[in-house]
Amino acid sequence: MLLMEGQIAELTKSSGMLGTVDMEIFYWWCTAIMICIHAGFLAYEMGASRAKNVLASGVKNILAFAFIVPTFFFFGWWIYLAFPSGIIPGESGAAGLPWAAEMGPNLSDNASGVFWAAFVLFAATTASIFSGAVIERIRVSAFVVLAIVLGSVAWILAASWGWHPDGWLVKDWGYHDVGCAGLIHVVAGFFALGVLLNLGPRIGKYNADGTANDLLPHNVPMVLIGLMLIIVGFFGFLGACLIFNPGAQWTNIYGQPATLSSYAFNTLMCFSGGIIGAWAMTRDPFWMMSGALAGIFVAAAGLDVWYPPLAFLLGIVGGVIIKPGNDFLSRMGIDDSVGAVSVHGFSGVLGVLAVGVLAAGYPNVGDAPPTSFVGQFVGLIVMLCCGFIPGYLVSLALKSFGVLRVPDKAQEIGLDLAEVPCQAYPEAVGSKSATLIPAE
C-alpha cells in the first residue's frame, strides 16, 4: 500500500505480470474478508440495542459504509497521498485526485484500485467503531456527517503522517504502528469520546442520584456472533497491512521485512489472550468477545516483531483493562453503549506505547530514526488529537444547531418508529397501527 510514484511500475518490472496479478488478487481477497468486519458490526450493534432501536442502529451502520466509499474516492485518498509532510499538501497527492489516471480502469496499473479499496475498508472500520458508542440516541443525519469526518478525513490524515513511508511521524520520530493500534483504534475511540461528551447519555441510563442503570442488549447471542465476525474480518484487515512484493521479501507498511507468519502467530495469540483476560475479570461472554478485540489492538502496533508468548501476554492485558475502563467512563457520566472507547481507544493507547517500551531500538528503513518510547508517545498524542478534537468540535457544532440528538420522546417510543418506516419485531414490539413520530 505504498503508493509512491513509480513504485507500482517498479514492482511490475521486477516480478512480471503473473506476480503483479497475484498481488492484485491478494489485496482483492483481503478487502473481501474485511467486509466481514462490517457484517459483524451490523449484527453486534443491532444485538446490543434494545428491541425498539434495532433497525435504526442497523441503518446507521449501513449508511456509514455507503457514504464512506464515495467520499473516500473524492477526497479521502487524496488526503493520504498529499499530506505526509504536514498540513501543506504536496504534489504526490495528484495520484489520488478523482480524475487521475490511477483512479480509473488503467490496464497498466494492477494495484491502485485494490490498494484504494483496502484503505476504504480501513476507513469504514473507523466509522463502525464510532457507530456502536452512540447507538439509541444520535440522529442518523448527524451520524452520517460525523462518520464522513472520521472515516474520510480524520483517520486518513493520521495515516498520512504515521503510516505513509514519507510521513513526518515516521521520518522524524520513527513511529511504528503496523496494525493501526493508534492510527485507527485510538483515533476512532477518542473521536467517539469527543462526540459522547456532547451527545449525552441515553434516556434512563442514569438515576437522579447519578447511579447508572444497565440498558441491556436485546439479543446477546447476536452480539457474540457479530463480534466473532469482526475477528474474522480483522484477518483480512491485518493481511492488507502487509506489502505483497511478488518474488521478493514481504514488508510491513514502512518497508521493514515482515511475514504473514508473524501476523498469524501473534494475531491468534493476542486474540486468545484477550478472551482469557476478560473471562478472568468478568465471566461475561460480551466482555470476553470484546476482550478478543482488545487483545488484538494492544498487540497490533508491533505484530511484526512480537515473540508470540509476548503477544499473548499483551492480549491478556487488553482483556483485563476494558471492563474497568468502561466502568470508569460510566462513573464519569459518559454513556458508551458498547464500550468502544475502552475497547478501541484505551487498548490502542497501550498498543502504541508497548512498542516504545518493548521494541525500542528497532531499526527503520532509510534515514528514519529507530523506534523509541519518545517517538511512540509523540505519535500517540497526534492520534489522540486527530480523533478527539474533530469529534468534539463537529459534534458540538451539530449540537448547537439542535441536530445531534434524537428528541427524548422519540427515544422513549424507540428509534425504529421514529426514524425507520418498519419494525424489527412487529409481532412482539409495538403494534402495526403505531404512529410514526419523525425524529427530525
The domain ranges of the chain are 7-419
Which CATH number does 7-419 carry? 1.10.3430.10
3-state secondary structure 374-393: HHHHHHHHHHHHHHHHHHHH
User: Could you report the per-residue pLDDT of 155-189, keeping only the tens digit for each?
Assistant: 999 999 999 989 999 999 999 999 999 999 999 99
What does residue 256 show for φ and ψ, rounded to 5 degrees?
-85, 145
Q: Cα separation of 338 and 42, whole Å?
A: 13
Query: What value, to the nearest 5°, has the Cα angle with vertex 156 and ends 154 and 159?
Result: 115
Q: What is the number of alpha carbons within 13 Å of residue 321 lying toward its C-beta?
A: 23
Instruction: Please give the Cα distance from 201 to 149 (Å, whole number).
Output: 22
The residue behind cell 495515516 is 159
Helices 347-358 & 308-331 angle (0-180, nearest 10) = 140
* pLDDT for 293: 97
Helix ranges restricted to H, 72-154: 77-82, 112-133, 140-149
The per-residue pLDDT for 195 is 98
Beta-carbon count within 10 A of 34 CB: 25
| 64 within 8 A of 37, measured Cβ to Cβ | no
State the pLDDT at residue 192. Answer: 98
Q: What pLDDT sits at residue 20? A: 67
Scored b (16 or more CB within 10 A) or e, 181-217 reads bbbbbbbbbbbbbbbbbbbbbbbebbeeeeeeeebeb
Contacts 24+ apart (CB under 8 A), 406-410: 406/137, 406/138, 406/139, 406/439, 407/439, 408/203, 409/437, 410/437, 410/439
pLDDT at 101: 87
Neighbours of 154 (CB within 10 A): 28
Query: Within 13 Å, how many C-alpha atoms sit on residue 48's CB side?
Result: 29
Give the helix ranges, DSSP H, for 283-336: 285-300, 308-331
**Could you tell me the maximum CA-CA distance found in the chain, to the nearest angstrom?**
69
State the Cα–Cα distance between residues 44 and 312, nearest whole angstrom: 25
pTM: 0.91
Instruction: Determine the pLDDT at residue 112.
Output: 85
pLDDT, residue 332, reads 94
DSSP state of 98: T
Per-residue pLDDT of the chain in tens (440 residues, 90 and over written 9): 444 444 444 444 444 544 567 888 999 999 999 999 999 999 999 999 999 999 999 999 999 999 999 999 999 999 999 999 999 998 889 999 999 988 988 766 777 888 999 999 999 999 999 999 999 999 999 999 999 999 999 999 999 999 998 999 999 999 999 999 999 999 999 999 999 999 999 999 999 988 999 999 999 999 999 999 999 999 999 999 998 877 778 899 999 999 999 999 999 999 999 999 999 999 999 999 999 999 999 999 999 999 999 999 999 999 999 999 999 999 999 999 999 999 999 999 999 999 999 999 999 988 899 999 999 999 999 999 999 999 999 999 999 999 999 999 999 999 998 888 888 887 764 444 444 445 55
